[in-house]
Amino acid sequence: MINRLCIIGVGLIGGSLARDLRREGLVGEVVGASRTTSNLKRALELGVIDRYDTNIAAAVKEADMVVVAVPLGAMTDIFRALRGKLDDGAVVTDVGSAKGSVLEAATDAFGEVPGFLVPAHPIAGTEHSGVDASMEGMFKDRMVILTPAPETRADAAQKVKSMWQGTGAKIIEMSASHHDEVLAATSHLPHMLAYTLVDVLGRMEERVEIFRFAAGGFRDFTRIASSDPQMWHDICFANRDALVHALEHFSDDLNQAIDAIRRGDSEAIKALFTRAKALRDEYTKNG
């Protein structure tokens, strides 16, 4: 049971977390925090939070769990605002998509990775953002990856694990570096491809006809290009090395496909499509 939960950045993920914990009776009071009031007022209207404060130090007072749900580029400033303001026994976690940068931000703000910090990443969400997009049940049967550092206290990690399990999520633990490698390939690369494809097509002279005649496959593939640009900008640079590696790997394979088409290598292209279909079907069956 969390007596007082403070969510810094009450948007899609933070708001959905608050809704689930309320539904399951796992939280007493929910306090929202941000430097602007518009989203916080809306969160209050929706009943996602009980009250809010734009002063982060005041918002985290007596909180036993603090969830930082802001873009990765703002993480250092938030951690600095938390320094010396947390109650004894308070646990801090986050929901960022790149964990190495979170540990770097913590070290920069606190001088070290504090024992109360438990980096985490829920593998859930939609292309929509803001508290209006939050919903109950978003995390049920979805994975939440915990990447505790060597300095992370066992009791803090357990408390964050229990919180996410209360939403119905499945918990996986791995190192921050391994997380960032995996997510660069499975999440960050697809977003870069979707954004780039829409941008490329949008700058073609025939763009009106291109978008007019775009079929369902185009909409499905590019849906994630409607995600929050600031958030994905921050992710891109927070996980730069792993993302560049994934992009270079993809670029090499794409060039091989281009060459096969240019040469009229029917067998190579058919083999590519066959492998991809089998892999996608297996993923869907097990997913």
> Per residue in 105-124, pLDDT tens?
999 999 999 999 999 999 99
Percent of the chain with pLDDT over 70: 99
| CB 6, CB 81: distance < 8 Å | no
Instruction: Categorize the per-residue pLDDT at 125 as very low, low, confident or very high, splitting at 50, 70 and 90.
Output: confident
CA angle 214, 218, 220 (to 5 degrees): 135
Query: What local confidence, expressed as pLDDT, does residue 287 receive?
Result: 61
Instruction: Categorize the per-residue pLDDT at 285 as very low, low, confident or very high, splitting at 50, 70 and 90.
Output: confident
Instruction: Categorize the per-residue pLDDT at 207 as very low, low, confident or very high, splitting at 50, 70 and 90.
Output: low
Query: What local confidence, expressed as pLDDT, does residue 213 receive?
Result: 74
Q: In the chain, where does the domain assigned CATH 3.40.50.720 lie?
A: 2-174
Instruction: Categorize the per-residue pLDDT at 172 as very low, low, confident or very high, splitting at 50, 70 and 90.
Output: very high
What is the rounded CA–CA span in Å between residue 188 and residue 101?
A: 14
Q: pLDDT tens, 71-84?
A: 999 999 999 999 99
**What does pLDDT average to over the chain?**
94
Task: Say if residue 206's pLDDT is above 80.
Answer: no
Contacts (Cβ under 8 Å, ≥6 apart) of 158 = none
Instruction: Give the DSSP letter of residue 72.
Output: G
Task: Say if residue 131's pLDDT is above 70.
Answer: yes
**Average pLDDT score over residue span 255-272:** 97
**Average pLDDT score over residue span 6-10:** 97
Q: In the chain, where does the domain assigned CATH 1.10.3660.10 lie?
A: 178-286
**Average pLDDT score over residue span 135-155:** 97
Using CA atoms, how far residue 260 sits from 164, 268, 279, in Å, is 47, 6, 21
Task: Say if residue 202's pLDDT is above 90.
Answer: no
Query: What local confidence, expressed as pLDDT, does residue 117 receive?
Result: 98
Query: What local confidence, expressed as pLDDT, does residue 128 receive?
Result: 84
3-state secondary structure 134-196: CCCCCCCCCEEEECCCCCCCHHHHHHHHHHHHCCCCEEEECCHHHHHHHHHHHHHHHHHHHHH
Using CA atoms, how far residue 276 sits from 218, 259, 267, 279, in Å, is 18, 18, 14, 5
Contacts (Cβ under 8 Å, ≥6 apart) of 101 = 72, 75, 238, 239
CA angle 190, 195, 200 (to 5 degrees): 125
Instruction: Categorize the per-residue pLDDT at 101 as very low, low, confident or very high, splitting at 50, 70 and 90.
Output: very high
What is the rounded CA–CA span in Å between residue 28 and residue 15?
A: 15
Instruction: Categorize the per-residue pLDDT at 209 as very low, low, confident or very high, splitting at 50, 70 and 90.
Output: confident
What is the rounded CA–CA span in Å between residue 101 and residue 183?
A: 13
Among 174, 170, 169, 125, smallest CA distance to 146 is for 174
Helix (H) or strand (E) holding 55: none
Query: What local confidence, expressed as pLDDT, does residue 286 receive?
Result: 74
Q: pLDDT tens, 210-259?
A: 777 777 788 888 899 999 999 999 999 999 999 999 999 999 999 999 99
What is the rounded CA–CA span in Å between residue 29 and residue 41?
A: 16
CATH topology of domain 178-286: 6-phosphogluconate dehydrogenase C-terminal fold (1.10.3660)
What is the rounded CA–CA span in Å between residue 242 and residue 235?
A: 11
| CB 65, CB 117: distance < 8 Å | no
Worst-scoring range by mean pLDDT, 61-65, 179-183, 185-189, 216-220? 216-220
CATH of domain 2-174: 3.40.50.720
